[in-house]
Structure formats: structure tokens, C-alpha cells
Amino acid sequence: MDLIFYHGKIYMERDRFAQAMWIQDGVIREMGSDAQILQMAPPKAKRIDLDGRLVLPGMNDSHQHLCMVGEHQALCDLSNADSIAEIQRRCKVFLETYPDIQGLHGVGWNQDYFTQGEKRPPTRQELDEVSEEIPIVLERVCGHLSSGNSKALELAGICADTVIAGGEIWKDAAGMPDGIVTENACSVLDRALPPMDEQQLEALYIQAMELAVSQGITSVQSNDVSSRNYTWMLPLWKRLHAQGKLLLRYRHQCCFMEPQKYAEFLETVWTQRDQYDDMLSLGPLKLFKDGSLGARTALMRSPYQDDPSTCGTEALDQQTMDTLCRMAADHGQQIVTHVIGDAAVEQTLNSYEKVIPQEGNILRHGLVHCQITDAPLLQRIADMQVAALVQPIFLHYDLHIVEDRVGKDLAGTSYAFATLGKLGVPLSLGTDAPVEPFHPFRNIYCAVTRKDLNGYPPEGFFPAEKMTLSEAIDAYTIGSSYAEFKEDRKGRLKPGYYADYIVLDRDIFTLPAEELLQVQVDMTVVNGSIVYQRVI
């Protein structure tokens, strides 16, 4: 089918716009002025008047967890809870609403937002007050720290003698687990919860896609596959694709932290990667080197300034990481690694350096988050041409804690988006949803203002690291496409590229940056098909 979009302001690249666009079979055929495109268009082409609105390439979220976004819709929402007492209250209401559930899974709490009582995670004793009959597991918003009740600890097999590599089990004064666990121990605690059935999960994943496209996202690079679920998760997404239910382009980031499990994946799945296409593709090996700044599990070279007892958590030891990186490189699979602390960045670069060939980083290995850095680390990332998959939206929370955690000097060279760009580092943007919501324009706002969503600080947090609006849009589109080897066919609006684009309700190039927070998406198009249209 031929589509003509005209009378618009269509972003091609910095300072270049077109008025009209001819779409044929899901691909952009021609772009130009209204007169040019309307004259050459087939007589039966469907014409859509953009009424002067701005058109951008569809946003490509380079790292998030779309399946978790879907699953969270069925869980107990603890976001913005202001105290442990409020967490308990919401859990009790959830149990009253769903009295037949066999386990309570809550998400989204953040002790730094507590305004009542102590600023700390809830303990098993406090969750036992909610229920002692069913397992309760409550994930901190970052996903790197969880609290469980006594039943959850029992079902997960966590006791005083339990040791989990790359994870921590907090103890009370008597030396018993107090219900709080970090990093790899979180996935062990999760085993106490009953699984959802696949039919329910499919419906939730479709809802997550609907949410994503309504906010202008046309591609996701999503870390949902793991060694625990790949045997059913990969077929589930293939089934959704075969049934025509994909609303966006989906690329798997596949998490394997154990060489034996990864070897099985390489043998049974990676060898079949030619079965995938540009709507559903098989992407990189995803590793976790450390945790989060909020939970003080990000791996630091020096002790935390506000807690000198810890340097964070090494979620993956160096020998195992070297082994996994070598396996990936030998099989031609890209690697992206979760790194937040400066020690995590350094050690991951050490592992990459051992597998990047003399001709350079041809597999485009990347650093996800890449938050706490000094100037030499930034230069080393650039010299190795390692990609940075960053989340400016993290500034909304982190700018309030980072100086306390790591000191002002190190904070001043962290979240260094402008410097990374100037050094020539391949840069892409994402949200890490559901850690932060999908909203791409909140993300862009934080990138260009260096402020939280309330406008603080007025001058921006280390304002020299502000990105320009075009830089942020390009990182979210063509930059994210580069991260998945697809910059030759998506991420730009020009002939020969996929017709993946969004129509906005306002021209963000002519308005104050603060208006980015009010942007609404009027239409989302994927592969030439309208997958979302706002009711006005």
C-alpha cells in the first residue's frame, strides 16, 4: 500500500527537514516538498495531512525490559511509597483485592523517597506482619535489592548458612537472614514466587507493547531472556510474531552468567539465528558486572563516601566474565554489560580488551548505563570504540545522591553524555524500563537540561554535559540503530529506510526544553502501518 504524509515538518537530520514523505511497502521511497511528493505519488495512494506537525524517526530504546513492564501491571505497585508502613498497607490491600493468590510480588519501592520512619528496606519480620502464609517478595525500583518474608526465605532455601556468589544476604543481630538480599541473591529469592502462565504473560506483553508505541517507541532492545527462561521465552515471542501481534521491532538481549548454560544456548539457539528478521531479532549476550547506585551495590574502586564499609558488589567474577566474553567473541555474538560503578566499567573494559581483535570493536560490544567514570576511563572507552547505552532519565533520581555516594569530583565526570559524544563514543539512549517509565521525551529532557523532572537544579547538574536536542534525538534513533547493526535501514527518515516514525503534538525544536515534559504522541507508525493514534 502507498501512503503519502504531507504538509508536515519531517526531521531528516540536524537542521534538515522535509515537508512530505512517500511510503511504499513499509519503506520510505521518496521525501521532499509537498509539491514534489504529491506530484509523483500514485493516484490511489492514501494521503494523510500532517497539518504542520513534527515527524521524528521512531524512538529505539536501546536497553530496557519490556516483559517486566508487562508483568509489573499484574503486581503490587509500591512506587512512591513514603514509608515501610505504607508498603505494608498497600500489600494488605492487594491481598484483600486478590485473596486467592499464592504469592505476593511487589515492585517499585525506594527507601530514599521515604518521608516517614527510617530510610531502609523492609525486613522479613515487617513483611510477616502482612502474611506468614504465602511468600512475599518486594523488589526495590532498581531490581538489585529485594525484601522477602519468612515464607519466601523458606521456599527459596535461604538460611543462615546460605552463600550466593555475586549476591549478599543481609543478617540481623542474631546472625539470621533479615529478609533483605542483593544482586544474584534476588533471583534466588524470586524462586519462592509461583510463576504466571504463558497465556497471561502473552496478554501482559501485548499491553506493554501498546504502552510503548503510545509513547513513541517503535523499537526495543530488551533484556528479557535469561538462562532460566529462554526455552519458553524465545518461542513465546516467535509465536507473537507469527500471529502478527508484534506492534514494534523487538531485539533480544540474552542474559547468561554461567558458562555451561551459555554453551547450551550457543549450541541450540545461536546457531539458528538466521530464523529471525528485522521485526524480531536475536541480539547480544547481556552480562551484569555490578548493581545499582541507589542500593550501594554498584562496584566502586574506592569505598562509598556515605558508607565506607562497602565498595559495592561484583555480580560476576573476572575469570567467569573473561570466559563468557571469549565464548561470545568466538561465536560472533555481541556483548553488552551492565556497569554502573567505575570499577565495574574498568574491569569490563579489561575483559573486552582481551577479545576485541586488532581491527577494532567490530562486534560493537557495549556498556549499559556507564554511569560513574573519571576522565581516563572516558578516554579509554573512546579509544576502544566501545558503545555506551545510557539512560539520562536516571539523573532525575541520581543527581540527588551521587555526590554523597562518590564525592563531587567523581560525580563531575559521571553521566558524561556530552563528553562521550565529543570523544566519538557510539552513544544510544534507553530508559531501563520499568526502572524508569518508557517516556522518551522525559529521557530527552534530562539529557538536554541535566535537571530532574521538577526542574532542579535550575542551571543543570554539571551543565557542561548537556546534550543538544538533535544529539539526543539522534542518539535515540540512529545511535540506537547502530547499537544493533541496523543503521543502514532504520533510525533515519530518508529513502530506503523503514517507515518507522512518530507524529508529535508540538514542534519541540521551537519550544523551551521544559515543554518536552508535556509532549504527546499523536501517531506511531511501524513498518508503514499505523500502530497507535491518539484520540483527540
Residue 536 has pLDDT above 80, yes or no: no
Q: Which residue has the cell 538533535?
A: 470
For residue range 318-330, what is the model confidence (pLDDT) as tens digits? 999 999 999 999 9
Q: Is residue 443 part of a domain?
A: yes
Residue 535: predicted pLDDT: 83
CATH number for the domain that contains residue 143: 3.10.310.70
pTM score, whole prediction: 0.92
For residue range 427-453, what is the model confidence (pLDDT) as tens digits? 999 999 999 999 999 999 999 999 999
Residues 238 and 312 grouped into a single domain: yes
Residue 102 has pLDDT above 90, yes or no: yes
Tell me the percentage of the chain whose pLDDT exceeds 90.
96
| Rounded mean pLDDT, 164-189 | 92
Residues 176 and 211 grouped into a single domain: no
Q: Is residue 489 part of a domain?
A: no
Q: How many domains does the chain have?
A: 3
Distance between CA atoms of residues 411 and 399, nearest Å: 9
pLDDT band per the 50, 70, 90 thresholds, residue 15:
very high
Residues 445 and 512 grouped into a single domain: no
Q: Strands of 141-262 (E only): list them.
A: 145-148, 167-171, 177-183, 217-226, 249-255
For residue range 447-482, what is the model confidence (pLDDT) as tens digits? 999 999 999 999 999 999 999 999 999 999 999 999
> By C-alpha distance, which of 399, 395, 368, 398 is closest to 381?
368
Q: Is residue 67 part of a domain?
A: no
Distance between CA atoms of residues 394 and 392, nearest Å: 5
Question: What is the average pLDDT score of the chain?
Answer: 96
State how far the alpha carbon of 416 is from the alpha carbons of 56, 224, 369, in Å.
Answer: 25, 27, 11
Q: Which residue has the cell 555490578?
A: 290
Residues 279 and 308 grouped into a single domain: yes
Provide the residue range defining the domain that includes 46: 2-60+496-533
CATH number for the domain that contains residue 416: 3.20.20.140
Question: Strands 59-64, 217-226: parallel, antiparallel or unpaired by DSSP?
Answer: parallel
Distance between CA atoms of residues 347 and 352, nearest Å: 9
φ, ψ dihedrals at 519, nearest 5°: -60, 135
Q: Is residue 68 part of a domain?
A: no
CATH number for the domain that contains residue 6: 2.30.40.10
**Domain boundary pick from 161, 190, 219:** 190
pLDDT band per the 50, 70, 90 thresholds, residue 280:
very high
Residues 392 and 298 grouped into a single domain: yes
- Region of 9 on the Ramachandran plot (φ > 0 left; ψ -120 to 50 alpha; else beta): beta
Q: Is residue 329 part of a domain?
A: yes
Helix (H) or strand (E) holding 138: strand 136-140
Residue 43: predicted pLDDT: 87
| Rounded mean pLDDT, 157-175 | 92
Q: Is residue 70 part of a domain?
A: no
Query: Strands across the sheet with 217-226, in order?
Result: 59-64, 217-226, 249-255, 280-288, 335-339, 366-369, 387-390, 427-429
